[in-house]
Each structure stands twice: as C-alpha cells, then as structure tokens.
Amino acid sequence: MSRRAFAALVRKDLLLELRGSEVVLAMVAFVLAAFVLFRFGLGGGRPAGGTRAATGMLWVAIVFTAMLGLLRTFAQEREHGIWDGLLAAPIDRALLWLARACSTCLFLIAVQVVALPAFWLFFLQEGPAPDYGVLVAAVVLADIGIAALGSLVAGLASAGRAREVLLPVLFLPFAIPLVLGAVSATTGTISPQTSGLHTVERLGYLALYDTVFVLFGWGLFEFVVED
Amino acid sequence: MNTTAAARLDRATFAALVAAVLMPVALGLIFFYVPNDVDQGFSQRIFYFHVPIAMTTYALFGWGALNAARYLWTGDMQLDLRSYVPMHLGVIFGTLTLVTGSIWAKVSWGTWWYWGSTELNTFLIIFLFYCAYFMLRFSVEPGERRARYSAVYALLGVGLIPISVLAVHLGQDVIHPITFTDHGANMDGSMLFTFLMSLAAMLSLAVAMYLVELRGKRLDDQVARLRRLAQGTP
C-alpha cells in the first residue's frame, strides 16, 4: 500500500511538471542566467579565483536555483486544495514528505543535466577534466540533501505569512554546511591536490548530511502538516 | 498570589542573587587575580568572557531543543514557552559570543573575522539559524501551529550543529587556541578556577534571565486571556 501510494505521489508531481512545466524550465533559465552573471562578475577572459571560486559559484547558483523550485513546493497543493485530499488519504504523513523530496531531487537532477555542461563551458573548459564518476556522485548526494531538507523547510515556510521571504531565511543556514561540503567534493574532482582529504571523506560527509536530514524529515514532517 | 507563583518568584530571585554575587567575583578574578597568559598577554583575559558566553549559548540552545522535543511529545503549551525563551536568550548570548570572539580575533590574529577559524564559523552558522528561528516564529500566527513549527525547526538545529562543525573542518586550514584537549584542560590552576567561576556566573545570569522572562511571558498570556474574557470572546 505505502509503496503504491508513494509511487502515485511521485507520479503526480512528475505529471504536473511534464504537463505544466512550471518549475524545471524556470530553474534552468535561472541557473543559466546566474552563471552568466557570475562569469561577468569574476571578470572577462580567464575567471579570477580559479577552480575554487568557480565551484563556489556553481554551488551558490545551485542552492539559489533549488530555492526557486522549493518556493513552488506545496504551492499547488495549497492553491488548489489538494492538501485536504492528501491528508484524508490513509497514508503515512512521512510518505508525503518522501515523495515530495524525491520529485524535488529529480527536478534538481534534470536541471543539472543542462547546468553542469554549461558551467564547464563558462568556467572550466581551459582547465583539466574532472573525475566524472566522483562529480556525479557529489552532485547527486548534494541534491538529495537539498531535496530532503528543502521539502521539510518548505512545509514550514508554506504556513508563514510571507512564504517567499521565509523559505530562504529558513533554508540558507542549513545550506552553508552543504555548500562547504559540496564545494570541497567538487573542487576535489577537478584538482585533487587542493586538499589532503580523500574523495571518500568528502563524499562521506555529503552522505552523512543526507542521512541526518532524511531522518529528521522522515521523523518531523508529520508535525508540519495540518491535522 | 498563589504558592506556585511565589515559589517561581523565589527561584528567579534566587538565581538573580547568585548571578549578582558570582558576576563581580568573576570580574575581580579576571582582572586582578589570574596571571597574564605567556603567549597572548593581557588580551587573553577576554577568553574568560568569550568561552563561558559561548558555552552558555550552547547550553541555552540545548535546553530550548530539549523542550521543543518534549513539546512535540506531549503537546503541552508551557513547554513551547520553555523552548522559545532559551532560544531568545540564545540570540543575545550568541551576539555577545560573536562580538567577543571578533575582538579576540582582532587582538590575537590582527583581523576582526578569521574565516579559517572553525569555532567562529560554526558559531556564525548557528547564529544565523537562531535568527531564522525567530523569523519563523514571528511569521506564524500564535497558537498550536506556531508551537509545532517552532519546535520542528529548533530540533533541526540539533542536526545542524555537528554537521556544521564537520563542514567547517572540511574547508579548514588552522588554528583556534586549543584550551581543552582530550587530556583535560590546558590551563594552570588559577586560570581554570577563574574560568570555572566565570562560567558559573554566566550560567547563573542566563538562568536568572530565563526565569524572569518566562514569568513575564506567562503574565502576558494571562493578561491576553483575561482581556479576551473581558471582551466576551473565547
């Protein structure tokens, strides 16, 4: 039952997105514009600050892009009264969160399929090629963290008076350690000599972040939804 | 005034008295008793303010988070207040930690903020988290939902603290003066005594402020209820 309910919930999110294209296209346009902005900000010709500055920009852009998507999280449910139906359904409340986190994660990955090549094109094409396996692992792990925490925090923010303002304020303190870990992991894939840490440690940190906030999301979401 | 209110008054007064005694004693020890640090000289004395204030902030946060968890468990609105008040005081003590840490950084490293310091940066993240807690709290209408949301966010902070410490270590190069190691305190007897006295003073001050603010908030609630009764609304 719960597996079917979960699949139905994720399918609903993906179908809505496929038919309406409300979120992913906007996120792609936003992240590309942000890259261009950062590229000009770092100066023409070769970007200042090297790989480290570039990956920092990448993750700041991704976090802001994710926030754009998270702002729409639960918006349709509230605007069209879907919540009442979902809450009346005999399913675990935590499943609502899990399904939302999964679809957010899939949206983020879809955005990054476009964003990462663009990032390489704008910032790194003259440098060494990254270790693609590690890069993909780092990006997916960071996406899981953003989606798990973001879906919980979006639930909290959606009841506030100024949802659009509240979400970034609630989310960003938690994004700082994630960005630190993701930048460390991504920089390590491009220039491994920058730090003594091993790839496993960097990815391990991101996995730990995911584990912690997946557990919190799973345990706490039932207190976020209305009775 | 009923007996519980009187007992509460007594506790608050008692805590305030303890703080009023300990604070001047701690100040006296810091400025007139403890010897200068060999490496950092006179300026190291800010340590006896900075570290106890930081520890008090963590203690307040811990108490707030514990009560948040208890609130979610029991649904008792009193626990919501007991979770909110330490978070509120935590912002005040947190601001003081950042200010004293910044002054210490200026004196010993020559810069107001050192981005390589694990403790300063971890604390900055936690401070931002505290501020966000308030934004959440003040943007939801008072009541059971606000209590629930505040508690959930407060508990998320329990995950944030260790994660932040690790994250800041990841991007780390150096140096915060290491005072406490695995082998105990790296201080001589007089310094440890002064430090502990200062810590006791800060903690008793925090407890006194906590009890007084809690009383104030409860009175606010009672006044609001009486006003509603007087206006004939439930």
C-alpha A34 chain-centroid distance: 16
pLDDT digits (tens, 9 = 90+) for B217-232: 889 888 988 998 888 7
Q: What is the pTM of this model?
A: 0.84
CB atoms B128 and A172 under 8 Å: yes
In 3D space, the residue among A16, A78, A64, A34 whose CA is nearest the CA of residue A167 turns out to be A64
Q: Does B163 touch chain A (CB under 8 A)?
A: yes
Question: How far apart are the CA of A7 and the nearest CA of chain B, in angstroms?
Answer: 27
pLDDT of residue A39: 85
pLDDT digits (tens, 9 = 90+) for B57-98: 999 999 999 999 999 999 888 899 999 999 999 999 999 999
- Give chain A positions within 8 Å (CB) of B132: 169-170, 172-173
Question: How far apart are the CA of B131 and the nearest CA of chain A, in angstroms?
Answer: 9
pLDDT of residue A185: 84
CB atoms A156 and B152 under 8 Å: yes
Question: How far apart are the CA of B160 and the nearest CA of chain A, in angstroms?
Answer: 7
pLDDT of residue B174: 42
CB atoms B170 and A162 under 8 Å: no
DSSP string, chain A: -HHHHHHHHHHHHHHHHHHH--SHHHHHHHHHHHHHHHHHHT-SSSPTTHHHHHHHHHHHHHHHHHHHHHHHTTHHHHHTTHHHHHHHSSS-HHHHHHHHHHHHHHHHHHHHHHHHHHHIIIIITTSPPP-HHHHHHHHHHHHHHHHHHHHHHHHHHTTSSSHHHHHHHHHHHHHHHHHHHHHHHHHHHH-GGG-S--HHHHHHHHHHHHHHHHHHHHHHHHHHS--
pLDDT of residue B184: 56
In 3D space, the residue among A142, A20, A9, A144 whose CA is nearest the CA of residue A83 turns out to be A9
A:140-159 residues touching chain B, CB 8 A cutoff: 149, 152-153, 156-157, 159
pLDDT of residue B173: 45
- pLDDT, mean of residues A126-138: 80
pLDDT of residue A148: 93
pLDDT of residue B8: 53
Total Cβ atoms within 10 A of residue B50: 22
In 3D space, the residue among A118, A6, A104 whose CA is nearest the CA of residue A54 turns out to be A118
Interface confidence, given as ipTM, is 0.85
pLDDT of residue A114: 92
More confident call, B170 vs A206: A206
- pLDDT, mean of residues B40-60: 85
Question: How far apart are the CA of A154 and the nearest CA of chain B, in angstroms?
Answer: 11
Q: Does A205 touch chain B (CB under 8 A)?
A: yes
Percent share of chain A, pLDDT over 90? 31
pLDDT of residue A22: 76
Q: Is the pLDDT of residue A192 over 70?
A: no
Determine the Cα–Cα distance for residues B161 and B163; give it in Å rounded to an integer: 5
pLDDT of residue B186: 62
pLDDT digits (tens, 9 = 90+) for A71-123: 877 777 777 777 777 778 788 888 889 998 999 999 999 999 999 989 888 88
More confident call, A223 vs A127: A223
pLDDT of residue B110: 81
Which residue from B128, B131, B156 is facing A216, i.e. has the nearest CB?
Answer: B156
- Give chain B positions within 8 Å (CB) of A161: 139-140
Q: What is the mean pLDDT of chain B?
A: 83
CB atoms A156 and B149 under 8 Å: yes
- pLDDT, mean of residues A174-199: 77
Determine the Cα–Cα distance for residues B178 and B171; give it in Å rounded to an integer: 18
Q: What is the mean pLDDT of chain A?
A: 84
pLDDT digits (tens, 9 = 90+) for B151-202: 999 999 888 888 888 887 776 544 455 555 555 556 677 888 888 889 999 9
For residue B5, the surrounding DSSP H or E stretch is: helix B3-28
